[in-house]
Amino acid sequence: MTNRSSAHRTFLATSIAASASFWIAISPAFAQQSAPRDPAEPQQEQPHPKLLPRPAAAIARQSVDEKSMRALIEQLVSCGTRLSLSSWTDPKRGIGCGRDHIVARLNEIAKESGGKLQIVVDKFEATSERTAGKPVPLESVYAILPGSDPKLAKTLFIVSGHYDSRPSDVISTEADAPGADDDASGVSVSVESARLLSKAAASGKGGYRATLLFAAIPGEEQGLLGGYRLLEWAKQQGYTIGGMLDDDIVGDDPSPGAPHRVRLFSGNGEIDDCDSPGRELARAIEEIDGRDNIRMIFRVDRYGRGGDHYPFYKAGLPAVRFTEPLEDYSHQHQTPRTENGIEYGDFAKYLNASFLGDVARDNAEALRQLAMAPAPPTNARLTGAVTPDAKVSWSTEGDPERAGFEILWRETTEPRWQVYDFAASPGETVLRGVSTDNHFFAVRAVGKNGARSIAVPTEIERRPPPLPAGTKQ
């Protein structure tokens, strides 16, 4: 199969060389890039803004502590099961054992942070079909790194993994549920991000203007109970959600040809001509971590599956999900057993430490840059329909650390933004000779430190066409 497809690629490559016109005929992407038969936009020369480089001191891959990540996963697996309905008080078996290991590890990290990292255990109750309709006690663990900017400290960037696990029977507390990949792996990414980012904060070098929250939450397998609670808790504390990174099943990459890119899921949103905040968060992460490391998937989650980013996404907030490149279903949601020679169970032995370390680095670096950025602009608008020039306007609050704004555009069929121009201050920018109709537009804020906010797509004034008399809009 592999040989056949590479032979096929070779054939295509040869064909391109032999016949450029053949290639154009079969490749819409190429046709769009060259756009030989479309009018130039802008009609005169395009601006060439000088762009600030991204923030220095990126987190180095070798600073990720794979050994400690692995140790935490093994401690969590040693709890036998971490089903949310299991014991909260038995230190050896059950979800309480999981909570204890996470709190202990975060306390170690907090000590090294010079007191900057604060650990909170949030106790609550929740009910679902999978709690037999009865309220059950749950506890979420949050490590909080407060932002340095008085205004932006009320904005929260979250990384989260769920520490509950499940066997085949979703309410059985008897069966073992090691849950190494689902989702001790995600918890280890959240905890390692806390270590990587609070280390810099301790030495006064972090520069995080917004607040960072590293979460390990329960109740996912019982119906996203910890995710819904996290959203509620953040609102109760008066936070705005700057971005939510859910890491769930991020520990394995067994397919030939590894390492592969981690998948990053983001939902489409529900507004025409406009992308969801989650999509903008995904684009921001891809831009920070690079296309070699992130595989964006424009879908809220895998089919038939859910995750803790979902409550945030449904609330219209920027939330995404990281998941490994290709899942092995015999290692998920399975009571450990061997059947017909196949071993079922979510064991730590299947994990790939190097892949998991990559995911931790990508999460931490994305969080670092997002927390350094100015607030995204508000009221981004596109006007100028039925005129030769598009007009992009936006507003924002004062911020002495902000360098200005990038006006972004893209072909309506393109997945990624490009920078069209730079503006030092908010207001309205006229894009001379650019049609409102052929591109999508967005604006993002840029800090003097080079960190970018997530993009805010422009909204257009809705002008429905006249309708026949008696027709309802």
Residues lying near Zn ion in the complex (CB under 5 A): 182-183, 248
Write phi, then psi, for 27 (nearest 5 degrees).
-125, 100
Residues 6+ apart with CB under 8 A from 395: 377, 378, 379, 426
- Cβ closest to Zn ion, residue 206 vs residue 278: 278
Largest Cα span, the chain? 73
Smallest separation, CB 163 to Zn ion (Å): 10
- Cβ closest to Zn ion, residue 219 vs residue 426: 219
Smallest separation, CB 119 to Zn ion (Å): 23
- State how beta strands 294-297 and 262-265 pair: parallel
- Cβ closest to Zn ion, residue 63 vs residue 352: 352
- Cβ closest to Zn ion, residue 154 vs residue 305: 305
Classify 432 as helix, strand or coil: coil
- Cβ closest to Zn ion, residue 183 vs residue 406: 183
- In the chain, the N- to C-terminal Cα span, in Å, equals 53
CA 180 to chain CA mean position, Å = 21
- Cβ closest to Zn ion, residue 165 vs residue 393: 165
The number of residues in the chain equals 473
- Cβ closest to Zn ion, residue 11 vs residue 329: 329
Report residue 30 as tokens.
């190429």
Smallest separation, CB 60 to Zn ion (Å): 29
Smallest separation, CB 267 to Zn ion (Å): 17
Q: Give me the DSSP letters along 61-91.
A: GGGS-HHHHHHHHHHHHTTS---TTS-SS-S
Smallest separation, CB 308 to Zn ion (Å): 8
Measured CA to CA in angstroms, residue 346 lies from 116, 168, 185, 329 at distances of 35, 11, 11, 9
Classify 164 as helix, strand or coil: coil
Residue 40 identity (one-letter amino acid): A
- Cβ closest to Zn ion, residue 182 vs residue 289: 182
To 10 degrees, the CA torsion angle through 262, 369, 152, 272? -50
Smallest separation, CB 162 to Zn ion (Å): 6
The edge-to-edge listing of strands for the beta sheet with 118-126 is 118-126, 136-145, 211-217, 155-162, 240-247, 319-323, 262-265, 294-297
Smallest separation, CB 187 to Zn ion (Å): 10
Please say whether the beta carbons of 153 and 147 come within 8 A: yes
- Cβ closest to Zn ion, residue 183 vs residue 287: 183
Q: Quick check: bond before 42 cis, omega within 30? A: yes
Smallest separation, CB 338 to Zn ion (Å): 23
Smallest separation, CB 321 to Zn ion (Å): 10
Report residue 408 as tokens.
């972004």
Smallest separation, CB 293 to Zn ion (Å): 22
Smallest separation, CB 256 to Zn ion (Å): 25
Classify 86 as helix, strand or coil: coil
Please say whether the beta carbons of 422 and 405 come within 8 A: yes
Please say whether the beta carbons of 200 and 206 come within 8 A: yes
Residue 144 pairs in a beta bridge with 118, 213
Instruction: Please give the helix or strand (H or E) that residue 243 lies within, else none.
Output: strand 240-247
- Cβ closest to Zn ion, residue 260 vs residue 305: 305
- Cβ closest to Zn ion, residue 269 vs residue 306: 306
Find, among 319, 299, 322, the residue nearest to 310 by Cα: 319
